Structure 1
Amino acid sequence: MIGGGQLARMTHEAGIPLGIRFKLLSDTPVDSAALVAGEVVVGDYRDLDTLRAFAAGCDVITFDHEHVPTEHLRALEADGIAVRPGPDALVHAQDKGVMRARLDSIGVPCPRHRIVSDPADVTRFAEEGEGYPVVLKTVRGGYDGKGVWVVRDEAGAAEPFRAGVPVLAEEKVDFVRELAANVVRSPHGQAVAYPVVESIQVDGVCDTVIAPAPELPEARSSQAQRLALTIAKELGVVGHLAVELFETRDGRILVNELAMRPHNSGHWTQDGAITSQFANHLRAVLDLPLGDPRPRQPWTVMANVLGGDYPDMYAAYLHCMARDPQLKIHMYGKDVKPGRKVGHVNTYGDDLAEVRERARHAADYLRGTIQE
């Protein structure tokens, strides 16, 4: 696996019961996954020679991020290395302009959009629709709200162009909420779909995920799952695909973003699904039969734990575990910094209000924003 973050850490954990030998290319020896994986290579994923040396002897290469240069992945494939997802698929998660053009070509509903050349062009784009505000995104490199701006006039549109990369303009969608459809697809075409979830964002960062999305009509849920499965097939995705969605006020489902790896909106599956997203991602890239994605309980809630006032959260475990013996805590081994994702909690049960309260209390207590 290329990338040493928490996604690699949890994927490694899912592979242990299967006896999978897990080799990691990590930026540093103290990255989240590097602290627990048995075979760690420290190196730069942007260097082709480093990638080739790392790939030697590997049956399959997969990722915990989408930042490896596309041309390097093509070179690995030319060397006979199985890269999953392959570069022809992964480029759609790497480049938002490429993604939008491809989704348009297969008839996937998206927000109105186009590549813009300068702030004046942003104004022209705005005037072609409902006017400002407009969402601007750098086509490569953004995540967790980075590389995304909501601009309200031409003067405010200058900042995104300073990065020196193409900028994508999109209409600011009047949505009711954000959803996510998570699917997994194997090389021989088997695919499974998890329940559609509601994803609640705070300051551009995923805060809470509710599985399944409350009060989502069955027809709309099925539509979102079919949409994600269609995208996975048409783009040739192998492994896990997260399709982030807008549910609009007029009942439409629009595609916001794609991620071709395990995803924050799927963390609930560790404790709430029969087969987790991490286990199914491994099964897919190794071309093994996929596992059952159905939920174990009527409701599961995931809440991210962000770094806060506790430099050492161990003491907070005493309170959280005693208060809620069913609570599942997943920490990433990261240094605690304000606002940094350092872990998440999962709760589950029959009563959604109670399940949400338990998850929120634990996440807030671990962060230090509440003391009782």
Structure 2
Amino acid sequence: MSTIVGVIGGGQLARMMIPAAVNLGLDLRVLAEADGMSAALAAVSVGDYRDLDTVLAFADTVDVITFDHEHVPQAVLRELVARGVSVHPGPDALLYAQDKLLMRERLTELGLPVPDWARVQDADELAAFLADHGGRAVVKTARGGYDGKGVRVVQHAHEADDWFLALAEDGNAGALLVEELVDFRRELAQVVARRPSGEIAIWPVVETVQLDGVCAEVIAPAPKSAGRLSDVAADIAERVAEGIGVTGVLAVELFETTDGRLLVNELAMRPHNSGHWSIDGAVTSQFEQHLRAVLDLPLGGTGLREPWSVMVNVLGGPAEGSMADRYPAAFAEQPLVKVHNYGKDPRPGRKIGHVTASGADLDSVTYQARATAAFFQD
């Protein structure tokens, strides 16, 4: 009888765990938020991940619980653990992916490099931070933001009044996170995996290219990263993983500043967009590695299959039809590029798939990946 892995969340990350589970002979089951989601192939339940009874009923059918996203409430997670369910990553780690203020506090306690930051509860506190940081800063909601949502660059304290008002109306004594506006050269991501027994595997650090707050491209490895930069990025991610007790895949998003420092921007405790290239470009994909990690199996190699891999997201998709309608032209023009379709309906700005090209020449694989993605976008 095979081990049963339960994934809460029916998005594309759960979908991309399915082939890895099949290859490992695992039974993967998904609790999806709605019918017809990306991971519908493995969805055995549809329900609200915030509802304790729904999640407990799902947990009774699996051997271990993991996640497509970090939004399951702490109360639900802790009840699962109290009942003896194997949950990876656990609530004590996920807490820092769910709340950006707690994340900043913990990273600061661990002595890890982060942007200058503060907790602000009203416009006066925000004004004071702005005055100390050149009149511009980044304001973030502590919870719920992703892909550029819940993030604003502000120059005046009252530009966040609606967020302060929302906190007050909720009767929430919470606060916003404000950070210095970092002068960075580029954005990087370091993806690692850690199993409960402590083994850690680290992929090469990658460069990410953002478009309107959404990851558009990933280059693996990050150009000109060999040596010190690669070592520092790996050390930071390893210290994060051990310091907060992550099990499974962890992505540490980084700023490389204009003066050569690395600062931690965000954390994701699950497979991450910056690691999708590994499906085709690494010895072990982040999805297989995540399954190995949550089952406490020895981790796989993370070396590159080719000197370079470039992943480009398909954002929005074709104005008419689906990605599959464009396959004949795309495959004929770019036979060396791998296409991953998330099974989503096209919609402006939506991630509906990605493509990955790998090879010995960075310029060539970048062109191949971009050209292929272009077939699926109008």
Normalised TM-score (structure 1)? 0.96
Corresponding letter in the other structure for 2:98: Q
SS at structure 1 position matched to 2:61: coil
> Counterpart in 2 of 1:64?
68
- 1:25-40 aligned within 5 A: 25-34=31-40, 36-37=41-42, 39-40=43-44
Q: Structure 1, residues 203-261: CA drift from partner, whole Å, max 9, x if none?
A: 00000000000112411111001110111011110000000000000010000000000
> Counterpart in 1 of 2:283?
274
- Does the 8 Å CA contact 2:116/2:180 hold for their aligned counterparts? yes
Aligned equivalents of 2:251 and 2:177: distance in 1? 21
Aligned equivalents of 1:65 and 1:315: distance in 2? 30
Aligned equivalents of 1:115 and 1:297: distance in 2? 44
2:370 is the alignment partner of 1:365: no
The 3 A distance-change label for structure 1 pair 265 and 339 is: same
Aligned equivalents of 1:24 and 1:166: distance in 2? 34
Aligned equivalents of 1:361 and 1:335: distance in 2? 21
2:157 is the alignment partner of 1:154: yes
Determine which of 322, 327, 347 is the counterpart of 2:337.
327
Corresponding letter in the other structure for 1:221: S
- Does the 8 Å CA contact 1:196/1:225 hold for their aligned counterparts? yes
- Does the 8 Å CA contact 1:310/1:366 hold for their aligned counterparts? no
Aligned equivalents of 1:159 and 1:211: distance in 2? 39
2:25 is the alignment partner of 1:19: yes
1:131 CA displacement: 2.2
Determine which of 240, 254, 260 is the counterpart of 1:251.
260
SS at structure 1 position matched to 2:339: strand
Aligned equivalents of 1:144 and 1:344: distance in 2? 16
Determine which of 304, 312, 318 is the counterpart of 1:303.
312
Aligned equivalents of 1:275 and 1:238: distance in 2? 17
2:352 is the alignment partner of 1:342: yes
SS at structure 2 position matched to 1:121: helix
- 1:128-167 aligned within 5 A: 128=132, 130-164=133-167, 165-167=174-176
- Does the 8 Å CA contact 2:186/2:255 hold for their aligned counterparts? yes
1:69 CA displacement: 0.3
- Does the 8 Å CA contact 1:147/1:160 hold for their aligned counterparts? no
Normalised TM-score (structure 2)? 0.95
- 1:54-203 aligned within 5 A: 54-128=58-132, 130-164=133-167, 165-203=174-212
- 1:39-58 aligned within 5 A: 39-58=43-62
1:316 CA displacement: 1.5
- Does the 8 Å CA contact 2:97/2:103 hold for their aligned counterparts? yes
Q: Structure 1, residues 248-285: CA drift from partner, whole Å, max 9, x if none?
A: 00010000000000000000000000000000000000
Q: Structure 1, residues 299-336: CA drift from partner, whole Å, max 9, x if none?
A: 00000001242432223111111111111000000111
Q: Structure 1, residues 164-223: CA drift from partner, whole Å, max 9, x if none?
A: 252100001000000000000001111100000000000000000000001124111110
> Counterpart in 2 of 1:229?
238
Aligned equivalents of 2:163 and 2:372: distance in 1? 37
Runs of 4+ off more than 6 Å: none
Aligned equivalents of 1:157 and 1:248: distance in 2? 26
SS at structure 2 position matched to 1:143: coil
The 3 A distance-change label for structure 1 pair 162 and 202 is: farther
> Counterpart in 1 of 2:13?
7
Q: CA RMSD in A?
A: 1.1
- Does the 8 Å CA contact 2:120/2:178 hold for their aligned counterparts? yes
Corresponding letter in the other structure for 1:358: Q
Aligned equivalents of 1:65 and 1:350: distance in 2? 34
SS at structure 2 position matched to 1:22: strand
> Counterpart in 2 of 1:312?
322
Aligned equivalents of 2:325 and 2:36: distance in 1? 23
- Does the 8 Å CA contact 1:137/1:160 hold for their aligned counterparts? no
